[in-house]
Structure 1
Amino acid sequence: MAASDRHRRILFRTIETLEAHYAKQPDVYVSGDILMYYVEGDPHQVISPDVLVSFGLEKKERLTYLVWVEGKTPDFVMEFSSKSTYNDDLGKKMDRYAFLGIQDYFLYDAEGLFLPSQLMGFTLVDGEYVPISDDGDGGLHSDVLSLDFHVDDVGLGLYDPVAEAWLQTPAESAEARAEIAEARAEQEAARAEQEAARAEQEAARAETAEAEVAQLREQLERLQRRR
């Protein structure tokens, strides 16, 4: 499906961010744009979420997601809507995900042109999707993921309210660590310069004191010679 550079960039970043967030949990599977077959023996019963998260599954590479093999459907799916997909995302796909029992369904419009709201979220209640209300800070909370989704300068930000931290990709985390290390190095260099300046001041004071002592000795010697 054709998509803009912005759409593709934010989609890939979202998957990468979620993968990094769950990297240390071996039973959380994160994927995207993978064919998910949900009726054994019927290859026409297939759907392909842009983003999915499934708890209780081994973290491994898969060619396809076979529901009858995995024993469950994903817990969270997200669609990145475009001009050619937004009607299905709000219609047939939404109905299909509800039928499959997927708990949280989120939609994001990278261009802000097609969905009623740029970011939308739904949670399954009695077999039907109910809209998730704004958390008061412009974000939508997924109970399944325990994460907040926000439209931000990056495009789509993910926030962990427990850790009180914005999620980052591995590259972003590495860059942040490098910036912190650079700032610390600059602070250490500044402290070293301050110490060197203090040492110079102490040396200058010592020289001044020595000069004063020498001058006093000369004066004392002159007085003694006059006697």
Structure 2
Amino acid sequence: MVQPLPSGYFFDPADPRAPTSDQWARMTPAERARVVDMLPAEVPLELMPPEGDAHRKAKRDALDALDGFFRRAARKIYLSSELGVYYPGEARFAPDLLAVLDVALHDRMKWVVDDEGKGLDLVIEVHVAGDRAKDEQGNVERYARLGIREYFFFDRARLRLHGYRLPAVQEGDPSRPRVYQRIVPQAGRFASEVLGLDLLLDGSRLRFFAGNAPLEDADEMIARLGGMLDDVIARQEEAQHLAEELAAQLDRERRLLDEERRLLDEERRLREDVERQLAEARAEIERLKVR
């Protein structure tokens, strides 16, 4: 059932859309909150068709690498994957990966542009199977029109990477048609102004670089930390072995010292006995002389 709301906005469950910016401006805070609650968080299958493990892993690895890097750098960038996005009056979509600068970093079920106060800054789509034209052509036009600053398309099937950016003069002027310009790679690297990182293909993987340092995904970080832990354990075991050897050596030296003290005591007692016997012999000789 279509549910009417004030300000001329209608919610259609079959095609849920956020209000236009004019409708949003005429709404009360309570009406806005009601609209946001009504917009579904779940995304239908046609917006996120299953493309197998290659698609899932590419998205997961990219999100893990970026999330870990920006948390360590304490940089305020909101990242998400397959989040329902609602631009004013537009059909919803769910990017494989999205990034938004300088917003609150908390968990979300959806992104409603007017409610958040800004749109997306970057989108990355990964294509493995299905409709390539949607990512390669349709999204290039759509994301530019919506004012999304950067768009990267990782064609996992063909092992190609494409980057697009809005010219600066178009970003702040909604009256001008927004059209992406291609990002020209340098030595295979595509520079992202939004992320402050470079993107490139490393075999069949999408990699991010901060300068010359590659960002690690979760599996790589676990493997590296696991290797470091193994090294620490090995050094601990070696240190324990050395400590045991040292303790054994100290025990041997202690026993030798004890034996040396016993021999010295024995020698001292023998010497005292000899001196006593000599003294007694001398005394006996003197006594005999007197006779």
After TM superposition, the score normalised by the length of structure 2 is: 0.58
Whichever structure has more helix as a proportion of its residues is: 2
Cα 1:16–1:166 shift into 2, 3 Å: closer
Aligned residue among 78, 83, 86 for 1:34? 83
Cα 1:167–1:160 shift into 2, 3 Å: farther
Q: Which residue of 2 aligns with 1:151?
A: 201
Using the alignment, how far apart are the partners of 1:121 and 1:201 within structure 2? 67
Using the alignment, how far apart are the partners of 1:128 and 1:119 within structure 2? 15
Q: Does 1:61 align with 2:107?
A: yes
Using the alignment, how far apart are the partners of 1:69 and 1:182 within structure 2? 48
Offset, 1:109: 2.1
Cα 1:188–1:27 shift into 2, 3 Å: closer
Q: Does 1:102 align with 2:102?
A: no
Amino acid at match of 1:132: V
Q: Which residue of 2 aligns with 1:72?
A: 118
Using the alignment, how far apart are the partners of 2:69 and 2:60 within structure 1? 14
Number of equivalences: 214
Amino acid at match of 2:202: D
Describe the superposition over 1:71-121 as per-residue Cα deviations: whole angstroms up to 9, x where unpaired.
Answer: 2111110001133232111212111111122121111122xx35xx52222
Using the alignment, how far apart are the partners of 1:106 and 1:16 within structure 2? 17
Using the alignment, how far apart are the partners of 1:123 and 1:2 within structure 2? 28
Alpha-carbon contact 1:75-1:144 (below 8 Å) kept: yes
Alpha-carbon contact 2:87-2:112 (below 8 Å) kept: yes
Using the alignment, how far apart are the partners of 1:174 and 1:128 within structure 2? 38
Alpha-carbon contact 2:66-2:215 (below 8 Å) kept: no
Q: Which residue of 2 aligns with 1:222?
A: none
**Structure 1: stretches of 5+ with no match in the other structure:** 205-227
Offset, 1:67: 1.1
Bigger Cα Rg: 2
Q: Does 1:123 align with 2:165?
A: yes
**Structure 2: stretches of 5+ with no match in the other structure:** 1-48, 170-178, 253-291
Alpha-carbon contact 1:75-1:104 (below 8 Å) kept: yes
Alpha-carbon contact 2:98-2:120 (below 8 Å) kept: yes
Alpha-carbon contact 1:36-1:64 (below 8 Å) kept: yes
Using the alignment, how far apart are the partners of 2:207 and 2:182 within structure 1? 22
Amino acid at match of 1:159: F
For the residue of structure 2 that corresponds to 1:156, the secondary structure is: strand
C-alpha RMSD over aligned residues: 3.7
Q: Which residue of 2 aligns with 1:46?
A: 92
